[in-house]
Amino acid sequence: MIAILDIGKTNKKCLVFDEDYCIVSEKTTQLPETTDEDGDACENLDLLRRWVWNAILDILENEQWIIRAINVTTYGASFVHLGSDGQPLTPLYNYLKPFPNDLKKQFFDTYGGEEKMALETASPALGNLNSGLQLYALKYQKPLIFNQIKYALHLPQFVTSLLHDQYFSEITSIGCHTMLWDFRKNDYHDWVKAEGMAAKFPPIRASNKVVPVSIPVSAGGQYHSFQLGTGLHDSSAALIPYLACFDEPFLLISTGTWCISLNPFNQESLTPEELSQDCLCYLSYEGKPVKAARFFGGYEHEQAVKNLAEQFGESGDFYKTIQISSRSDAAVAYLKFMRQLVEKQAVSTRLALGRSPVRRIFVDGGFAQNNIYMTLLAGAFPEMEVCAAEVAQASALGAALAIHPFWNDKPLPENLVSLKKY
């Protein structure tokens, strides 16, 4: 069996999968946030570390299971800065924290402008969401602390380091709108080296590799040995079940607050026009570019439903019973909104499609259960096979699949992803 720590900003989960990738245990908790020195909300590292250890020990000490491997997946754009003693030097700054305008100007003036840097790093300028700029700000705002940094770890690798005291970097975190990676050279960007930051990143370790670990699990001196993965960025991990199950080219629309169209089969470089329309590239766990386009679709839907429910005196979930042929005032208004929403979705998705050979579109997340969205989307792409996809705990499953050979002797099951064609 394998245990996965799936750490989101809100929910922290510990899951156990058996060799057939069935979830045999799932525990979820929420940890209260703390604040950084500026009073901005941020993750409480002390609570997180305590939760990681307690969750792992609970799993390892459970005699029902023999845990052969552990892996980690977390939200991205978050650095933990360690000193020479292995202890964090700063809070885990929130990527929504405002980025100083003077430093933004200084950075882009120094390195050739916003458009040039965005094209080379395959990422729009997003402030602290460009996690590399978090280090840049630290260097110029708090140079004494910057100089004390032994290792800067993205959050997945910080969590794995708690279990083995080894330090690695990993490509799905480096390649996630960080502005650290030069997609043309397939290496850290020149600015990273010029600012003396490359030395603060430990060696890059492959996403599908493991480290043997043995930790004490009881007062009697017993140790439990297992294989520990490198850790993954959650968006890239969620793509792995689809890459594992489907050989033909596909595009995945991952829907939540953001609707993100992910195309692992589009090898075209980003253009300035695409960047201006919120396109970027991720790196897959195999180190390959994944063209992505996003828009705020889930948030727009949430706000529209709230407003329409108030306007027509309906419950907050009134839209769930609406059909394409419904004719009530609330239904007509909702259908009009959904047609506009799916038009925006189609524009965003076509940016990610480009000239790639994709002929299948999968949708997962909240909108996969919305028949109106799915029906309209299928109508917007008549040349495509459009399917609602269902994957239980996609990010956690992807983290387990990434290191499959090190814990699982069985072949991959054929039913990891269930599809409903529209």
User: In this predicted structure, what is the pLDDT of residue 219?
Assistant: 64
Written as one letter, the residue type at 46 is D
pLDDT above 90 (res 398): yes
pLDDT above 90 (res 251): yes
Q: Give percent of the chain with pLDDT exceeding 90.
A: 75
Average pLDDT taken over every residue of the chain: 93
The pLDDT of 295-309, averaged and rounded, is: 92
How far apart CA 114 and CA 294 sit, in angstroms, is 19
User: In this predicted structure, what is the pLDDT of residue 392?
Assistant: 81
The pLDDT of 375-393, averaged and rounded, is: 94
247 bridge partner residues: none
User: How confident is residue 270, by pLDDT bands cut at 50, 70 and 90?
Assistant: confident
User: In this predicted structure, what is the pLDDT of residue 222?
Assistant: 83
User: In this predicted structure, what is the pLDDT of residue 58?
Assistant: 92
User: In this predicted structure, what is the pLDDT of residue 225?
Assistant: 93
User: How confident is residue 387, by pLDDT bands cut at 50, 70 and 90?
Assistant: very high
User: In this predicted structure, what is the pLDDT of residue 258?
Assistant: 82
The pLDDT of 397-408, averaged and rounded, is: 96
Written as one letter, the residue type at 267 is Q
Q: pLDDT by residue (tens digit) across 160-213?
A: 999 998 999 999 999 988 999 998 899 999 999 999 999 999 999 999 999 999
Written as one letter, the residue type at 377 is L
Q: pLDDT by residue (tens digit) across 335-361?
A: 999 999 999 999 999 999 999 999 999
> What domains sit in the chain, N to C, each tagged with a CATH number?
2-233 (3.30.420.40), 235-421 (3.30.420.40)
How far apart CA 318 and CA 299 sit, in angstroms, is 17
Q: pLDDT by residue (tens digit) across 313-339?
A: 988 889 999 888 988 999 999 999 999
User: In this predicted structure, what is the pLDDT of residue 243?
Assistant: 92
User: How confident is residue 269, by pLDDT bands cut at 50, 70 and 90?
Assistant: confident
Q: pLDDT by residue (tens digit) across 360-380?
A: 999 988 899 999 999 999 999
User: In this predicted structure, what is the pLDDT of residue 77?
Assistant: 87
The two beta strands, 187-188 and 181-182, are antiparallel
Q: HSE-up of 57 (CA within 13 Å, CB side)?
A: 13
User: In this predicted structure, what is the pLDDT of residue 168?
Assistant: 95
User: In this predicted structure, what is the pLDDT of residue 2?
Assistant: 97
pTM attached to this predicted model: 0.88
Q: Which residue has the higher pLDDT, 223 or 32?
A: 32
